[in-house]
Structure 1
Amino acid sequence: MNSLPTISFLWPRMLWLLLLVPMLVALYAWHDRRRRRAAARYPALKITGLSGQGGSGWRRHFPAVLILLAVTSLLLAVARPQALMMLPSRLQTIILAMDTSGSMRAEDIKPNRIQAARQAAEIFVAAQPADVSVGVVSVAGTAAVAQAPTRRKEDVTAALERLQPQRGTALGNGLIIALVTLLPKAGIDVDRFMNESAKARDAKPPRRPEGARSGPGAPSDNGQGGRPLPREGEVAAAQPDNSGAIVLLSDGENNTGPEAIEAAQVAAEHGVRIYTVGIGTPDGVVITVDGWSSRVRLDETVLKKVADMTGGEYFRAEDAEALKKVYRLLSARLAFDKQDMVEITALFAALGALLAACAGLISLWWFGRVL
């Protein structure tokens, strides 16, 4: 059940004018008694209609009630009422964090993961309104801003076209760079974040999962290195920042740098939502890079956790067409209802004028006089 809208007043001191309403009621009652007495004393007035006794009781008072409501509405308008309303809105800035690691060469999505991701991202960018800025961050062994946030869609598309697979995957690094790009004035110290993360990993050697292989592309710590992972509900729920969001597209594998969970914790502290898109298949495929062969799979665990921690949402795409559908769905998700105080003085004034006009017309129709 929806709650009633919250109404406040910009000029609350003017509400004392509402004291005029009971005074008008008393004045009308006094005047009505006088007319009744006059009608009883001079019956001939009923014939001329001067006593105001025409019609049944409720009809006689109905125009006066409308006038009373009209005056009340106009007096409320003087106090400048405003209501808390849900208004449709959109994010002002979106950062696309694109995984460009070697595993994105995998061809379990045709023609391969990175090309499918690029094509779908271009469709997503083209669908954004003209007043939305989009930036691109490339995420591999290191992260770099491929395109600063801009409203020029052709610049964003050109940046996406330049993305090429590179060695390593540092999802945490990519997310923290995306966060700094989104919130340049938030004072996020990237160097400090990296140093603290490195010290934490050095102090607590990562545990290799049972049966894990060594070699290029092997995960470094099973997602448990760096800071201790926060449990459900441990991250302070900051007020969502509806000015921007991060969209991370990745297969979820991470083998260097800070953990994605650590960066997600920083994003959550700043109220930034991260929407994650998992690209690939759980079984994965075998790829060969520099003579080393390894199977690259879609690792959804971290991607789901990142989205959950920040109030975002996780999407999964196992083929190019599904990926395009995900981006279309994302466009709808990034539109939201924003609560805002809206002045409604004009509504109260219009209602008062309408009620007064109706009172005059009804009185003229029933009794042959305006009031």
Structure 2
Amino acid sequence: MSFLWPGYLWFLLALAPLPLAYAWLLRRRGRLAQRYGRLQTEGAASLRRGWRRHLPPALFLLACAGLLFAAARPVARVPLPWARTSIMLAMDVSLSMRVNDVKPTRLEAAQAAAKSFLRELPRRIEVGLVTFAGSSQVAQRATLDRDALAASIDAFQMQMGTAVGDAIVLCLAELFPQDNISLGEMTFGGNAPRGRSLDDKAKPPPRQITPVAPGSYDAAAIILLSDGRRTTGIDTLEAAKMAADRGVRVYVIGMGTLDGDIAAPDGMAIYMKLDEPTLREVARMTGGEYHHAGTAEALHGVYEKLGSRVQVQPRENELSGLLALLSALFAITGAGLSVLWFGRIV
């Protein structure tokens, strides 16, 4: 635990004399009770109340201590659900996903595991879907509608090529629309010829950002699933650096064979081979994790683990409000008990 305003903790020393002052008042009251008969009777009755006479003052003392402690603005890391969380699923739909080394096929196993992941994810977490092969598309913007996501997953269309870096960049463009990230500009640059409607407005240039610590952005995560290696598009590690600079974790799932030894036409095996070193580096650079899922059961297990990790995140939270609320409850309780037992606030 740390404090934003630690200097206020010195005010806690002002509470130290209060118990001594309370004890002095009790002794003074006892001496007065011995001097006057009526007060002696009341004092004896008060003494018979035992611990009740001390509880309200003790609660008031705790309330004062809690308020002073809150004034120092304590901060602690506590595991809390993300208030607003967006998860982007980036799924490979290249032709190699039709291979059946993962039963029934890689694509069908990935689809089933993804839909199971969505069912188990808390409803308050928004999920978006990006598909990639030779190009990348946003199949579904971040939404709470699980049925729409499942329908998008079922509607995958396979293509040639594997643009892993494009998928990461497109996920970032969805998560940070204010950054004006343009996949087309990054791919073709400003000199590539392309038509534009008269109604189209010129896009503003990308916003310059200040890099943050990898994995420090708690409001979003990317889950990337691929079975091959980049054959086109933006360099995978360049895209990973963009995610790392924004603090977004990329959890990578590599599926399929590691050696490329699959029955396929000559020359195709190299494209079937999983580029595990690059995918591991993507996870390392962004503060995420890499998992290899060689079977449908393992793939499902990976999604389960990811679900448990992205639901709750330890975060720095200021506890002043909570302490102030507890202090108010102590004060109200002390006042209520005092009125109930003694007919006045003592």
TM-score scaled by length of structure 2:
0.74
Cα distance in 1, alignment partners of residues 242 and 309 from structure 2: 22
Other-structure match for 2:57: 68
The alignment partner of 2:218 has SS state of coil
Q: Residue in 1 aligned with 2:173?
A: 180
1:163 aligns with: 156
Aligned pair in 2 of structure 1 residues 292, 182: CA closer, same or farther (>3 Å)?
same
The answer (yes or no) to whether the contact 1:252–1:302 under 8 Å persists in 2 is no
- Alignment-derived partner of residue 275 in structure 2: 299
Structure 1 residue corresponding to 2:235, chosen from 252, 259, 275: 259
Q: How many residues align?
A: 314
Q: Could you tell me which residue of structure 2 aligns to residue 88 of structure 1?
A: 80
- Is structure 2 residue 111 aligned with structure 1 residue 118? yes
Inter-CA distance 267–33: structure 2 relative to 1 (3 Å threshold)? same
C-alpha separation between the residues in 1 aligned to 2:263 and 2:326?
65
Return the offset for 1:30: 5.0
Deviation of 1:32 (Å): 2.3
- Whether 1:243 aligns to 2:238 is no
Displacement, 1:52? 7.9
Secondary structure of the 2:269 match is: strand
**Match for 1:348: what amino acid?**
S
Contact 1:141 1:167 in 2 (8 A): yes
Larger fraction in helix: 2
Query: Mean Cα displacement is larger for which, 27-36 or 245-254?
Result: 27-36
Distance change >3 Å, CA 30–CA 155, structure 1 → 2: closer
Displacement after TM superposition at 1:175 (Å): 0.9
Report if aligned partners of 2:215, 2:286 keep a CA contact under 8 Å in 1: no
Following TM superposition, by how much is the alpha carbon of 1:173 offset from its aligned partner in structure 2, in angstroms? 1.2
Match of 2:197 in 1: none
The aligned residue for residue 207 of structure 2 is: none
Who is 1:333 aligned against? Answer: 309
Among the aligned pairs, what percent are the same residue? 33
Cα gap change, 1:113 to 1:239, in 2 (>3 Å): closer
Return 5+ residue gaps in structure 2 as ranges: 190-210
Q: Tell me the equivalent position of 1:35.
A: 30
Q: Decide which of 318, 321, 327 is 1:348's aligned counterpart.
A: 327
Cα displacement (A) at 1:74: 3.8
Separation (CA, whole Å) in 2 of partners of 1:329 and 1:165: 27
SS of 1:286 mapped into structure 2: coil
**Which residue number in structure 2 is paired with residue 308 of structure 1?**
284
Question: Any gaps of 5 or more consecutive residues in structure 1?
Answer: 197-234
For 2:289 and 2:52, locate their aligned partners in 1 and report how far apart those are by CA, in whole Å.
56
Q: Which residue of 2 aligns with 1:210?
A: none
Task: Work out the CA distance in 2 between the residues paired with 1:78 and 1:286.
Answer: 68
- The alignment partner of 2:178 has SS state of coil
Pair 1:162–1:370, CA change in 2 (3 A):
closer
Question: Structure 1 236/16 Cα, relative in aligned 2: closer, same or farther at 3 Å?
Answer: closer
**Residues 250, 289 of structure 2: 8 Å contact kept:** yes
What TM-score, normalized by structure 1, do the two folds share? Answer: 0.70
| 272-281 or 163-172, which deviates more | 163-172
2:287 is the alignment partner of 1:282? no
Shift of 1:66: 3.5
Structure number with bigger Rg: 1
Cα 1:352–1:8 shift into 2, 3 Å: farther
Equivalent position to 2:247, from 264, 271, 287: 271
**Deviation of 1:249 (Å):** 0.3
1:294 maps to a residue whose letter is A
Q: CA deviation at 1:327?
A: 1.1
Secondary structure (helix, strand or coil) at the match of 1:168 reads coil
Calculate the aligned-residue CA RMSD, in Å. Answer: 4.0
> Cα distance 1:47–1:155, how it changes in 2: closer, same or farther (>3 A)?
closer
Q: Does 1:107 align with 2:100?
A: yes
Which residue matches 1:142? 135
